[in-house]
Amino acid sequence: MNITPVWAIFIGSIFTNNILFASFLGMCSFLVCSNKIDTALGLGSAVVFVMFCTTILNYVLYYYLLVPLKLEFLGFLIFIAVIAAFVQFVEMFVERFSPDLYYALGIFLPLITVNCAILGAALFMVIRKYNFVQSTFYGLGAGLGWALAIVLMAGLREKMGYSNVPTPLRGTGVVMMVAGVIAMAFMGFAGMLNIQ
């Protein structure tokens, strides 16, 4: 049982233990989709929603189905299946009931299945032994933290278009360097609280 208070988990998962800058999860889509703020916002909000819901679903399935049956080693398979199925379901639902939202978010949804931050949130929830309420807030916080990170980076990359970056460093190289500087800023909060 983890005794960290819920508010600390929530704030910590956004800032000090940001899932992207401290745990390096979801780098692939972070690198590819951080060119424009609009795209980043769309993908970010889709990640917040999917991560929040799948963390809850995975918690219920893991602790009420796999643990009683002593099938914990199948956890990975269940997590990834839940994420893939959920994303597919949301895509169909949104397309049917809200075409506007579908055009805003729809194209990002398939990308999310392979976003390792979503699977990572489920795995951290198990490793850190969070209870239900803690997991819920962790899922929400981690999603918000990821969205914050990609929007920040997109803003910087839009400005970076005007700067003279050395040719071999262009693209991924310079994004890594900038991400390193942002990660240092996020770590500045680490003295205040550090979640386990």
Partner 1 sequence: MSSSTAVSAAPSAAKWKKTLGDGLYTANPITRQILGICSTLAVTNRVDKALVMGAALIFVTGLSNLFLSLLRRLIPNRIRMIAEMAVVSTFVIVIDQFLRGFYWDISRQLGPYVALIITNCIVMGRGEAFALQNPPLLSLLDGAANAAGYAMMLAIVGIFRELLGSGSILGITLLSSAWYVKNQLLVLAPGAFFALGLLIWIFNVINPPVPRETEK
Return the structure tokens found at 76.
């990975």
Vertex 195 angle, CA 154 and 44, to 5°: 25
The one segment of 20-28, 43-51, 63-71, 129-137 that binds partner 1 by CB under 8 A? 20-28
56 vs 174, beta carbon nearer partner 1: 174
Among residues 28, 71, 92, 192, the one that binds partner 1 under rule CB under 8 A:
28
Q: Which two tokens stand for residue 135?
A: 């997991």
* 10, 15, 21, 52: residue in contact with partner 1 (rule CB under 8 A): 21
Residue 124 structure tokens = 């951290």
User: How buried is residue 188: exposed, middle or buried, by Cβ count under 10 Å (0-12/13-18/19+)?
Assistant: exposed
- Residue closer to partner 1 by CB (options 68, 166) is 166
**Both structure tokens of 6:** 């819920």
Closest CB 176 distance from partner 1, rounded Å? 3
99/176 with CB nearer partner 1: 176
177 contributes a contact to partner 1 by CB under 8 A: yes
Q: How far apart (Å, rounded) are the C-alpha atoms in residues 118 and 120? A: 5
Contact positions with partner 1 (CB under 8 A) in 116-175 = 116, 119-120, 123-124, 127, 166, 168-169, 172-175
What's the distance, CA 121 to chain centroid? 7
Sequence-ordered alpha helix ranges (H) in 98-171: 99-105, 109-113, 116-127, 132-160
Q: What SS3 state is found at 50?
A: helix
Question: Residue 85 Cβ, how far from partner 1 at the closest point, in Å?
Answer: 9
- Select from 114, 156, 160, 193 the one that contacts partner 1 (CB under 8 A): 114
Which residues in this chain contact partner 1 in the complex, by CB under 8 A?
21-28, 31, 73-77, 80-81, 84, 113-116, 119-120, 123-124, 127, 166, 168-169, 172-177, 179-181, 183-184, 187
